Every structure is written in structure tokens, then in C-alpha cells.
Amino acid sequence: MHDENIIEQHIDISEPNRSAVDWLSASTNLSKQIIKQTMTKGAVWLTRQEHTQRLRRASRKLNIGDTLHLYFNPVVLATEPPEAILIADEKDYSVWYKPSGLLSQGSKWSDHCTITRWASQHLQPERSAFIVHRLDRAATGLILVAHTKHATKALTQLFQQRAIEKTYQAIVLGHFPESPTTLTIDKPIDDKHAISHVSLIEFSEQRNCSLVSINIETGRKHQIRKHLSLSGFPILGDRLYGQEQTFTTDLQLTAVSLRFTCPITGEKRNYRLAQQLSPRL
């Protein structure tokens, strides 16, 4: 059902030297104050020639031939982002604890609930922020945010080259096999090669749940969640692949460590999440 409060509007600019706020206030019933807040939260876009990007500066003058895009959803814009925790500020990039509900990537409707927007607004001094890898919305844990184009490219290449060692922990239903060696799951995902290595940390007989450690060789979408579910050990709180669970908790999947050689300084980096932020039985 269409929500009459949702506004999607595209305005072709036909007059010079008028601001985006003026154009949008003249084309909608929204006040200038609300429009400015909407711009700050990333729901206004500007197309100039062949380039389209978010427009946040309310006073920016537009040119004839520009196109202004408004994606106003009051429910989305009213959402408050959960608080991320800064783990390390390396200037060119930073490491954060991403809580459940904070997004890795925004949409056309806003980006104010993303880790990049949080980082750009809460670091001192303030910096631009670029995503270099992702965590599921419901997942928690360590995530890297780049602050220069050079760092973005260098860190992205490390992920593509699988030169960053990522370790996850999850609480799964059932008694995961106790084995002196790590269990390798190599079931294809979406017809693509996928490999996960899983080992038992602890089993709770009372809860019939296991705490496991996971390393992945490939980065398919929802790989860990799918592999564990397909193996008969769905992650607790997984509403997509959790099989027949009674959902009383959030997804119990956390990125607990990142290890790599810094592409800027050449130094070894090893970030590990504090115990109180890691999954516990």
C-alpha cells in the first residue's frame, strides 16, 4: 500500500542560481528546515551531466540541466542509528565495532544509519568515509572504514586478494562436532565455490548451543549463515536461515578479529574485539 507521506520527486532544473532547498520547497509541501534535515541524512541527490551523488549542502546553487532527486520517507528518516564504538583511528582508515542494525551501505532513501556516515560525523578531526567491506545488517563486530581514496583502493585490494584474515564467532543451535581439526564446509553458494572453516570453542548442554569460531576463504553473500544452516547448525537469531527457531534474540554472529599488513605503513595490524563485545554462551 502506498504511503501518502512518502515522496519521490525528480526535478529538472530550468533556472540558474536557485538553491536545492528553494527548488524542493517550491515542489513539495515540506518546510525548508525539514528539507535541510533530509539532505543531511542523505535522501537528496544531484545529477550533473553523467554524475549522480548525494547532495547535502543546502545552499549549493544548481545549474540549468541539473536534475534534483528527492527520496523522502519519514519512517526511514526518523530511524536513529545505533551507536558504533571506535576501536582504532589510524588516520587513513579506522576500525569500528558495528552494532546490530547499523548498515554497511546506504540506499537512495538515506545513509544516516550507515557505519561510514557514523564514522565521518564522529571522528576528530572529521573526515570523509568509504566502505571497503561489509557486515550483514544484523551481524556485529569489527569493520574497516577508509578515509582517503588511496586507502580505499589499497584496503579493497587486500580484501580482493584475501590478504586480510577475518575471524568470526557465532552461537549455533546444537552440539557442534568436537574435533582436533577444523571442520571445512565447502558447499557451493549460488552455484559459486565457497569454503568456510569452523571449529568448536564451547558447548552449553543447558542451552543446547555451541560457540564456534569461523574463518572463510571466500566471501559469498551470507556465506557463514548459509553454510552453518546447511550443515545443520543454524546461527541463533538468524531470521533468514535459522530454520525452525523461536526468535528471542538478535543474530549471534560477530566479526571478532582482523589481521593484515597495513598497505600504508607496512606494519602488521591485529585488531581483536574485547571479550564483552564478543558472543558468549
* pLDDT per position as a tens digit, 95-148: 999 999 999 999 999 999 999 999 999 999 999 999 999 999 999 999 999 999
**Architecture of the 85-163+263-277 domain:** 2-Layer Sandwich (3.30)
Question: Which of 66, 136, 186, 190 is flagged as catalytic?
Answer: 136
pLDDT average, residue stretch 184-191: 91
Domains 7-78 and 85-163+263-277 share a fold: no
Write the pLDDT tens digit of every residue in 45-66.
999 999 999 999 988 889 999 9
Parse the chain into domains and list their residue ranges. 7-78, 85-163+263-277, 165-255
Q: Is 89 marked active-site?
A: no
Domain covering 165-255, topology: Pseudouridine synthase (3.30.2350)
Write the pLDDT tens digit of every residue in 189-222.
998 999 999 999 999 999 999 999 999 988 889 9
> pLDDT-based confidence at 246, cuts 50/70/90?
low
Please state which CATH number belongs to domain 7-78. Answer: 3.10.290
> pLDDT-based confidence at 179, cuts 50/70/90?
confident
**What residues contact 25, with CB distance under 8 A and at least 6 apart?**
31, 32, 35
pLDDT average, residue stretch 233-257: 88
